Structures are given as structure tokens and as C-alpha cells.
Amino acid sequence: MKVAVTGASGFVGGAVCRALMDHGIETDAYGRRSELAPEHVFGAKYRSWDLTQGPLLDAPEVDAVIHCAGSVSDWGRVSTLFSTNLTGTKNALTTFPGARFVHVSTASVYDPYRPTVMATEEQAPAPRHLNAYGASKAAAERAVLSVMRGHGRSSWRGPSRREAIVLRPHAVYGPGDTTLLPRVLSSVRGRVLPAVGNGKQRVSLTSIGNLVQACMLAACGPVGSGVYNVTDAEPVTIDEAFRAILAERGIDARPLYLPALPVRPLAAAVEGVFLLARRPEPPRLTRYAIGHLAVERTLDIAAARTALGYKPEETDFAGAADW
């Protein structure tokens, strides 16, 4: 079997490549970086490819594609996010027309304006989003779903019906994490970690190990199509997660919770100031971040367990001091 992995130079794509190679699966790795340390992809054949520039015209035939490429920023230009997440996905679909397509999506495709309580797959993609990240990932999902159902040519010049699987993780963490853990740690002020809500709200998190397992089951298993939530075995509370991260990092701080109602308009005002100033970096406080902290964000993973044979581990930040 031969598998192609996009976004191989990143956190998730690199981990997927290493797992595939470790299982003796021939792997072609693609990423935007011109060069990549061989150990990052465990010796997989690497090729530089910017998916936003178009399909590859000389791509080799593969049995499956694990599409990890994309922007995970909740702050950026709308055009850039759509170019990376939507156009890039369409170009990947076109490049490998005969391969099973495994699309690594996100739980941000669910409705951000209300709590996500053990949400099942049919509740997304939602028609409304807080930012371009959620909207662009939802649009990318629709492109994949259209070819899965055989309607690809009705909306864009893509391939006809094919095997495709969509995976929806939430807040991926683990060794190499460039988003969740750094964001939490950068918010610490002295001996306090400011947060929103009361700490009791439950959240589903996804370890990189669990996500890699789901990617491999989707690419190499008997099930060819479907949409699946992918998280750790059980939800945890925000307070449990924060305290575990701080403890593992040896940080003498504690979460301090602020009520969401007055904080939301403050976040909107801060976003407005950053937009007017054309600041490229995101503000520390955004409505998107509040939406993932102040209310429950949990996903039902029964479908992945049953159909894919997914057997996730519990949420665990052990070893976070070395990440």
C-alpha cells in the first residue's frame, strides 16, 4: 500500500508520516517547506508543494491520501485562509483522483454560537461561523463531501464520486503541538492563568496519538467513506485540563475564571482595535477562544468507535514538560 500525506512539514502531518513509516507503509510526504529534516517524517520521501498554487501534474499514484495541510489560525486574512483550507483541499482532491481521500477537518465546523454537547456528525458543517477559519474549514468539508456523494462536478471542476473520509478532531495536543499548549502557556500572568467561564464546562480534546490512530484506520481500513468525530476517550473539564498542563510544565499558577457575559464584548472590541491597526498577530482574547472555553464543547465518538474500530486513549498531558 502507498499513502500520500499533505502538510507533512507540520505538527499533525509529520506525526502521521512517522506512524505510517513505522508500520512499514510506503509514504510520500508533501509540505510547503523547501527542505525538511528526514527524521520529521521518519525517512518518508519528501517533496515541496504549495497546494494553493495548483494541483501537481506529475503526482504518483497512491492508494490513499491523508490531507493534513491547512491553516489552523483563528486570526488571519479571509483570502489567505480560504486559499489554504479550501483551494488547497480542492487541489489535493484533483491531484490524486483515484485515491481514498482522508480529510483532517476540525470541530470548528460545528455551530460556535451555542454549546456543542456530545454533538453527532450530522450537526455539521454549520451555516454560521465566528471567523474565517471555521468558515473555510466548513467550505473545505463541503468540497470533500460533494465528491464523496458524487456531486463534485456540480460546483467545481473536481473528480467524480470516490471514497472519502472526514475526521473532526478538537484541540489537538501532544509532542510538537504549536497551537493549544503554547496558547495556554502564553496566557499565564504571574501565578494566574486567566480563563473564561467557571472551569466546570466539559471539553473533548484530541491527543496527537489518537488522531494519528484515526488517520491510519481511515486510510488503511475497510471503511471507505464517512464523517467521524475523533477525540480522546472521554471529555474532561476545562479546569482539569488547565491544572494538568500547568502541573506537568511545573508552573506555579492556577486558573482564574472570569464571567463570559462581560468578557465577550471586550473581546469584540479588542478584535476591532487589532483589525483597524492591521496587526498580523492575534489578540490574546478573541470571541473564538471564548467560544471554546466558556461553554461545553464535547463530541460523540460512537461512530468512529463502531465503524473505524477507533480505540482512543484518555486525555493525558504526561510528559508535557518536554513537548
Strands 202-203, 236-237: pairing kind:
antiparallel
pLDDT digits (tens, 9 = 90+) for 204-241: 999 999 999 999 999 999 999 999 999 999 999 999 99
What residue ranges in the chain does DSSP mark as E strands? 2-6, 26-31, 45-48, 64-67, 100-104, 116-119, 164-169, 172-173, 192-196, 202-203, 206-207, 226-230, 236-237, 254-258, 297-299
DSSP string computed for 136-170: HHHHHHHHHHHHHTT-HHHHSS---S--EEEEEE-
List all residues 6 or more positions away from 40 whose beta carbon is below 8 Å from its beta carbon: 8, 9, 14, 17, 18
Q: Helix (H, G, I), strand (E, B), or coil: what is residue 246?
A: helix
* d(C-alpha 216, C-alpha 288), whole Å: 30
Question: Alpha carbon 106 to chain centroid distance?
Answer: 4
pLDDT of res. 155: 46
Q: What angle do CA 267, 264, 186 make, to 5 degrees?
A: 50
pLDDT of res. 160: 61
Within-domain flag for 272: no
131 contacts 71 by C-beta, under 8 angstroms: no
Which residue has cell 499513502?
A: 3
Tally of structural domains, the chain: 1
C-alpha cell at position 275: 483589525
pLDDT of res. 100: 98
Within-domain flag for 267: no
Within-domain flag for 271: no
The answer, yes or no, to whether the previous bond of 125 is cis (omega within 30 of 0) is yes
Question: In which element (H, E) is residue 268 found?
Answer: helix 260-276
Within-domain flag for 89: yes
* d(C-alpha 284, C-alpha 299), whole Å: 26
Range of the domain at 58: 2-173+205-232+298-318
Strands 236-237, 172-173: pairing kind:
unpaired
Where residue 76 sits, what CATH number does that domain have?
Answer: 3.40.50.720
Within-domain flag for 259: no
List all residues 6 or more positions away from 182 whose beta carbon is below 8 Å from its beta carbon: none
pLDDT of res. 154: 41
Within-domain flag for 212: yes
Return the bridge partners of 172, or none. Answer: 206
Burial 195-211 (b: 16+ CB within 10 A, else e): bbbebebbbbbbbbbbb
pLDDT of res. 264: 86
The number of CA neighbours under 13 Å toward the Cβ of 59 is: 30
pLDDT digits (tens, 9 = 90+) for 301-318: 999 999 999 999 999 999
* d(C-alpha 294, C-alpha 31), whole Å: 35
Within-domain flag for 238: no
32: nearest Cα among 78, 82, 87, 70:
70
pLDDT of res. 296: 96
List all residues 6 or more positions away from 139 whose beta carbon is below 8 Å from its beta carbon: 82, 85, 86
Within-domain flag for 283: no
pTM of the model: 0.93
pLDDT per 10-residue tile (average), the chain, 323 residues: 97 98 98 95 97 96 98 86 97 96 97 96 95 95 90 50 95 92 91 94 98 98 97 98 96 94 88 86 81 91 98 96 88
